[in-house]
Structure 1
Amino acid sequence: MADIINSTISESSETPLHPYYPLGVVIVNYAAKTLSTQEILAIGNMHLDVFTTLWFVLCGFIHLGLEGYFALHARDIASRSAVLAQLWKEYSLSDSRYLTADTFVVCMETVTAVFWGPLSFAIAWCIATEHPLRHPLQSIVSLGQLYGDVLYYGTCTIDFIEFGREYSRPELAYFWGYYVFLNAFWIVIPLCLVVSSARETSRAFAIVKGSLKAEKTK
């Protein structure tokens, strides 16, 4: 009887109740996970698609509505008092070029409104319907957003370094809050989406090439 008890104790001490290190560490009220790694990743990807869909819907409204308004009224927005004009006047505290009809800003915002706005809604639809055009369009729009934002930061930086021009008020909230923080979303998120689409496209081509090779060897 004592041998059986000792054997049971030995087995329980050698076999941890959970897979976490150090082996035997006490985890109070531990309940083992019921989902496999693949299932957890699949759920994560589903949530990521929801986030991406919402991102492009948001982009569509901002590009078409807010930036579209600026593109239409860039020449006289300083004299307007509509709500959207007031929003641009507030943002212009961080970049006065929006009130002086700067050529670069007008061109960039017009391209963004005309092309990236409608295509953002199209991408959201493609994600929801699992359309095969999702990743080609996502790559185009995300790269366009990224390129436009890099140029936006770049032109301001060069103007400051070369000519000493400052378009933002000195308060931290305007430069770091409006100019840096708000625009950084269109650097970080599009970059992640470009990488994601490149991986998915590469994997799709690899699968097609693999199937073609398999057919040739039959």
Structure 2
Amino acid sequence: METLNSSTITSHPYYPLEVEIASYLANEWSVPVLLGVFFTGIAAIVFGTRLTVKRIYPNLPSAEKAAIWWLVISGAIHFFFEGYFSLNHTRMGPAQDLFGQLWKEYALSDSRYLTSDPFVLCMETVTAFTWGPLCFVVAIMIPNEHALRHPLQIIVCVGQIYGLILYYATSMFDHYYKGVAYSRPEFLYFWFYYFFMNFIWMVFPGILLVSSVRAIAKAFTTLEQMDKASKKNANAKKSQ
């Protein structure tokens, strides 16, 4: 055991194995318990949101209801879970609270979360405190048919997709060009945690992005048709 900047460096299971994680402590809870608590929490948010929307807006189209569910889930994960990381990134190694242990479990797929990596920290901070609150704002706008719903939805979705692309790209760049792997090679860590759990934010934001672009394009088309009709009627009156 050795010291560095007055912080204790210990052995750990993260890749690269030589990466220094200050004061690391193994999780006290088992993986099934951690994942069970996490997905139970997600299910509770989904159920609660679905019940609330169904009760208050029973006639809302199913696609709009689904959009609200996704935005609320996404906003909660961004603001609370990723916000936790942003505010506590310097003490992740020894953390034993629920979110701390969940991040240490996820970090087996990306050790940058335990080393205050500048890109990951900046990306997660923007995600937590910009896209997180905006997800809730857009969710509230949907049943009220607010005029800014689609513009804001586009901004949020583009931000999420852009952040995910950079997240994948920076990791893969270090892997292929620098020979540095941040993820353990096991299927659970690389394909499920790192790839699949993040790729969800490519799929659903992508669907909402396309929907908003189509809605805005349709609105502009209708407006142009109305404008042309108005000009045609005005010219017809002048010629009479």
Per the shorter chain, which TM-score range? 0.7 to 0.9
Within-5 A mapping of 1:21-170 = 46-170=61-185
SS at match of 1:75: helix
Mapped partners of 1:175, 1:119: distance in 2: 29
Percent identical pairs in the alignment equals 49
**TM-score computed with the length of structure 2 as normaliser:** 0.71
Mapped partners of 1:79, 1:62: distance in 2: 22
Aligned-partner residue type, residue 185 of structure 2: P
Q: 1:79 Cα deviation (Å)?
A: 2.2
Mapped partners of 2:153, 2:87: distance in 1: 26
Aligned-partner residue type, residue 67 of structure 2: T
Q: 1:176 Cα deviation (Å)?
A: 0.5
Q: Report the aligned-residue RMSD.
A: 1.0
Q: 1:70 Cα deviation (Å)?
A: 0.3
1:200 corresponds to 2:219: no
Q: 1:46 Cα deviation (Å)?
A: 1.4
SS at match of 1:81: coil
> What's the counterpart of residue 21 of structure 1?
none
- For these two proteins, the number of residue pairs brought into alignment is 174
Mapped partners of 1:200, 1:58: distance in 2: 23
SS at match of 1:101: coil
In structure 2, stretches of 5+ residues that fail to align are: 1-59, 234-240
In structure 1, stretches of 5+ residues that fail to align are: 1-44
Q: 1:152 Cα deviation (Å)?
A: 0.4
> What's the counterpart of residue 23 of structure 1?
none
Mapped partners of 1:64, 1:78: distance in 2: 21
> What's the counterpart of residue 213 of structure 1?
228
1:184 corresponds to 2:207: no
